[in-house]
Amino acid sequence: MSKVLTPSRWLAGGMLCLFSALAHAHASLKIAVPAANAVVASAPAEVELRFSQALEPALSRIEVRNAAGDRVDHDAVHTINGDAHRLGVALKPALPPGAYRVDWQAASVDTHRTTGNFSFQIGK
């Protein structure tokens, strides 16, 4: 049996490539500092998130809240060392011991958005 590439096979192959590319079009969180569920001895100066793809900082956000739901970040997401894979947000100084939640939304350079959250704790 001959394997002739008919138009329908070309179309099927093209669709497979398209959907495969779309599946990888979203930026995923690779590393967080502080890490998810980490217990750190003292308050970090900022939260850093590293992603699998370059991001649009103007379309991305990072919010850090304490256990009462109050924001403890400076609401100014920035790239770290000019690397569009790494976003950070500065935290208010002298955060007290307790639980903190990080909510993030990342927009990759092709504008696909992903969201997520994690928590960390300062102190015991």
Structural domain count of the chain = 1
40 CB burial (10 A radius; 0-12, 13-18, 19+): middle
Query: What was the pLDDT predicted at 25?
Result: 60
The CATH number for 38's domain is 2.60.40.1220
Full domain range(s) for residue 48: 27-122
| 2 within domain boundaries | no
Residue 110 domain-assigned (yes or no): yes
Residue 26 pLDDT? 80
Instruction: Judge contact between 15 and 8, C-beta under 8 A.
Output: no
Q: Which of 107, 113, 105 is nearest to 55 (CA)?
A: 107
97 inside domain: yes
Residue 9 within a domain: no
Residue 73 located in a structural domain: yes
Classify residue 105: in a domain, yes or no. yes
Query: Mean pLDDT in runs of 10 for the chain (124 residues)?
Result: 51 43 70 98 97 95 98 96 97 97 94 95 92
pLDDT value at residue 98: 98
